[in-house]
Amino acid sequence: MESGLIHTRDLYTIRRGELVHDPIQGRVVTARREIIKIKGRGGRWTCICFDPAAGTCRIYTERPLECRLLACWNTRPIERAYTRGRLVRRDLVGSIAGLWEAVAEHERRCDVYRLRRLLAPAPAAAAARRLHTAAEIVHYDAELRRRVVARTGLEEEMLDFLFGRPLSRVLRSLQAGLNPSMAPAGS
């Protein structure tokens, strides 16, 4: 990713607080920190870097560390890599004037942990206010994405990397499997 071989439109960001499937633990956990992933293709998960015609990876010689470590028969190397410093968005776009500030502001206003707290059970009056606030956050996320594309000309495919998955999608996953504990449980 650092080499620029994988374009940011081919990446997405899982933000702190999102529910994710941890293949090592074999369960859904809360992301403790941001995770940059390569997008899949089509309705099934097939790596966007896989060339189906050739049956090979188009970036094999320059593939990311996670891909180099992945060995289905022995997951220990990739498990160790998950505990080390991984690339985050700031590593890749932090020096681009104005862009990092927009990403950081979005992160502040659209914090997934805050969204989770707003969705937690509450008395009726508080629940209504919380749901209204949650709806405003989801609306802000959608509107920001629309404006960024309209004003900057950035490819819409890059938004999943810059701002993480759309909060409307994150919200659906939270509603489907909201963990009552707000404490992070996974990486």
Question: Residue 129 belongs to what domain range?
Answer: 8-177
What band does 67 get if pLDDT is binned at 50, 70 and 90? confident
Q: What is the pLDDT of residues 72-125, one digit of tens each?
A: 555 567 667 666 777 789 988 899 988 899 999 999 999 999 998 998 888 988
Q: Is 127 part of a structural domain of the chain?
A: yes
Q: Is 135 part of a structural domain of the chain?
A: yes
Q: What is the pLDDT of residues 150-163, one digit of tens each?
A: 998 889 999 999 99
Q: Is 19 part of a structural domain of the chain?
A: yes
- Classify 161 in phi/psi space as left (phi over 0), alpha (psi -120 to 50) or beta: alpha
Q: Is 182 part of a structural domain of the chain?
A: no
Indicate the number of domains in the chain. Answer: 1
Element (H, E) at 51: strand 50-51
Q: Is 184 part of a structural domain of the chain?
A: no
Alpha helices, H only, 88-166: 89-93, 99-109, 112-119, 124-152, 159-162
User: Does residue 171 register a pLDDT over 90?
Assistant: no
Q: What is the pTM of this model?
A: 0.68
Calculate ∠ Cα 91-96-102, nearest 5°. Answer: 90
Token output for 169: 């999608």
Q: Is 61 part of a structural domain of the chain?
A: yes
Give Cα 124 distance to the centre of its chain. Answer: 32
Mean pLDDT along residues 13-24? 85
Q: Is 2 part of a structural domain of the chain?
A: no
